[in-house]
């Protein structure tokens, strides 16, 4: 039977089905990310690899992976994997779509609301003992969310789930931009398909849900921020490099836009020092879009389903 290597800690009970099918499973049971050396060593023996989006599966790793049949990435994004090289080597690559849609949309809205209503600043203020009582012009006056315009960049599964929250929960008008028109979202949410430029200039909140590609890298640069409303808030739960962080810091510091809710960073795990200094209407979280207990269980389950299928000689459920 096959050797399965898991590069990170996962819920051990989710791996039982692999053992029950007769496979040998080794999970790297230590906090943090796997070292490059360890990855190169372990991949040479494995027939299946369950890995993270932080593990770089590139030419060098694939060259070592003489027996590997499947890489099951514990993420919906897979830009950490050199897909062409993997496929040329006959290795199946799978991801975890679907199960993290709603939870990522929830986090998007949490960031949008937290940045608009200055929740993190207000929390620090309340804890500091500085609260002196209610007054009309309180120190943390925020920006209204209800009834505003939400611009969704990338109207796929997650973008649509965010738009749904905006439309149905917060009475928002929805604008979207995507390489493909999404007619069902238009019918369900009265979403309007607009150019990127129109979305930028007309939205009060701009939320990013595109994959990282050559076309989307630094889509949000100084030019883009100059087109946005000065009262607008940017939310990014997609991929860090879609935003030029230097330009974002500049845009918030100079008041080109009002603020940002950010989950993903250009050089993870580094966070641009300029971003760390921004407080007003800025909320930063450490790539936790899909981080709920339920969703993380579901992501491991999907990876295991894909590994079981491929090792049994069947088609994967979620090939990319
Ligand atoms: C997380 O960022 C993912 O791609 O699943």
Q: Name the DSSP class of 220.
A: B
Closest CA to 248 of 134, 122, 75, 115: 115
Nearest residue CA, atom 3 of ligand 1? 75
| E-only strand ranges, the chain | 3-6, 24-27, 48-51, 70-73, 92-94, 149-153, 173-177, 192-193, 205-208, 233-236, 259-262, 282-284
How far, in Å, are 23, 51, 116, 189 from residue 103 at the CA level?
Answer: 31, 21, 20, 19
Closest ligand 1 atom to the C-alpha of 95?
A: 5
Statement to judge: residues 197 and 251 lie in one domain:
yes
Active site residues: 239, 268, 287
**Domain-located, residue 24:** yes
> What's the total number of domains in the chain?
2
Q: Are 95 and 318 in contact (CB under 8 A)?
A: yes
Mutate to test the pocket of ligand 1, among 52, 289, 291, 302 (most ligand atoms within 8 A of CB): 289
Q: Are residues 159 and 254 in the same domain?
A: yes
- Pair (111, 188) in one structural domain: yes
Assess whether 106 and 94 both reside in one domain.
Answer: no
316 in a structural domain: no
Q: Number of C-alpha atoms within 13 angstroms, CB side, residue 47? A: 15
Question: Which residue, judged by its Cα, is nearest atom 1 of ligand 1?
Answer: 75
* CA 7 to mean position of chain CA atoms: 20
- Host domain of residue 231: 101-284
Judge if 139 and 236 occupy the same domain: yes
- Is there a single domain that holds both residue 229 and residue 109? yes
128 inside domain:
yes
> Beta strand 149-153 with 70-73: parallel, antiparallel or unpaired?
unpaired
The predicted structure's pLDDT at residue 73? 98
Residues 140 and 22 in one domain: no
Residue 320 lies in a domain: no
Whole-number Å distance, alpha carbon 96 to ligand 1 midpoint, is 8
Q: How many CB atoms lie within 10 A of CB 13?
A: 9
Same domain? 107 vs 7: no
What is the distance in A from the centroid of ligand 1 to the CA of 290? 7
- Tens digit of pLDDT at every position of the chain (320 positions): 999 999 999 999 999 999 999 999 999 999 999 999 999 999 999 999 999 999 999 999 999 999 999 999 999 999 999 999 999 999 999 999 999 999 999 999 999 999 999 999 999 999 999 999 999 999 999 999 999 999 999 999 999 999 999 999 999 999 999 999 999 999 999 999 999 999 999 999 999 999 999 999 999 999 999 999 999 999 999 999 999 999 999 999 999 999 999 999 999 999 999 999 999 999 999 999 999 999 999 999 999 999 999 999 999 999 99
Domain shared by 50 and 138, yes or no: no
Are residues 85 and 110 located together in one domain of the fold? no
Residues 187 and 127 in one domain: yes
Q: How far apart are CA 298 and CA 51, in angstroms?
A: 15
C-alpha to C-alpha distance for 282 and 260, rounded to whole angstroms: 5
176 lies in some domain: yes
Domain of 168: which CATH number? 3.40.50.720
pTM here is 0.95
Q: Please give the Cα distance from 169 to 130 (Å, whole number).
A: 33
Residues 116 and 233 sit within 8 Å (Cβ to Cβ): yes
Say whether both 120 and 253 belong to one domain. Answer: yes
CA of 90 to the centre of ligand 1 (A): 24
Report yes or no on 91 lying in a domain: yes
Decide if 151 is inside a domain. Answer: yes
CA of 53 to the centre of ligand 1 (A): 7
Q: How many CA atoms lie within 13 A of 15 on its CB side?
A: 20
DSSP tag of 154 = S
Give every CB contact of residue 237 below 8 A, 6+ residues apart in sequence: 104, 107, 108, 111, 158, 207, 208, 209, 263, 264, 289
Cα of 79 vs centre of ligand 1, distance in Å, is 10
- d(Cα 30, Cα 100) in Å, to the nearest integer? 24
pLDDT, residue 82, reads 98
- Give residue 54 CA to ligand 1 midpoint distance, Å: 10
Ligand 1 atom with the shortest distance to the CA of 77: 4
Q: Is 20 helix (H, G, I), strand (E, B) or coil?
A: helix
> How many whole angstroms from 81 Cα to the centroid of ligand 1?
13
* Ligand 1 shell residues, CB under 6 Å: 53, 75-77, 100, 289-290
**Total residues belonging to the chain:** 320
Contact criterion met (CB below 8 Å) for 63 and 91: no
Identify whether 317 is part of a domain.
no
Helices (H), the chain: 16-20, 36-43, 59-64, 83-88, 101-117, 119-128, 157-164, 170, 183-189, 196-202, 222-227, 245-253, 273-277, 293-311
């Amino acid at each position: 039977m096959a050797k399965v290597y898991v590069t990170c800690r996962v819920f051990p009970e989710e791996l039982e089905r692999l053992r029950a099918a007769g496979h040998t499973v080794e999970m790297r049971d230590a906090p943090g990310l796997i070292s490059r050396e360890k990855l190169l060593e372990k991949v040479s023996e494995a027939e299946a690899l369950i890995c993270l989006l932080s593990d770089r599966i590139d030419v060098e790793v694939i060259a070592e992976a003489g027996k590997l049949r499947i890489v099951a990435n514990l993420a919906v994004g897979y830009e950490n994997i050199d897909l062409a090289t993997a496929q040329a080597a006959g290795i199946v690559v799978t991801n975890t779509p679907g199960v993290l849609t709603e939870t990522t949309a929830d986090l998007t809205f949490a960031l949008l609301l937290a940045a608009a209503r200055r929740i993190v600043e207000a929390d620090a203020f309340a804890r500091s003992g500085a609260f002196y009582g209610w007054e009309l012009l309180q120190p943390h006056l925020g920006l209204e969310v209800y009834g505003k315009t939400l611009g969704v960049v990338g109207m796929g599964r997650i973008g649509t789930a965010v738009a749904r929250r905006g439309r149905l929960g917060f009475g928002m008008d929805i604008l979207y931009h995507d390489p493909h028109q999404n007619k069902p979202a238009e019918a369900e949410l009265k979403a309007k398909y607009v150019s990127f430029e129109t979305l930028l200039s007309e939205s009060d909140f701009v939320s990013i849900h595109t994959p990282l590609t050559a076309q989307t890298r630094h889509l949000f640069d100084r030019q883009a921020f100059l087109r946005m409303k000065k009262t607008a808030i940017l939310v990014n739960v997609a991929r860090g490099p879609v935003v030029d962080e230097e330009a974002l810091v500049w845009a918030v510091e100079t008041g080109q836009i009002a603020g940002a809710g950010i989950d993903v960073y250009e050089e993870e795990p580094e966070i641009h020092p300029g971003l760390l200094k921004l407080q007003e209407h800025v909320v930063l979280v450490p790539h936790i879009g899909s981080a709920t207990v339920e969703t993380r269980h579901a992501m491991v389950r999907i990876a295991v389903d894909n590994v079981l299928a491929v090792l049994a000689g069947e088609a994967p459920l979620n090939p990319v």
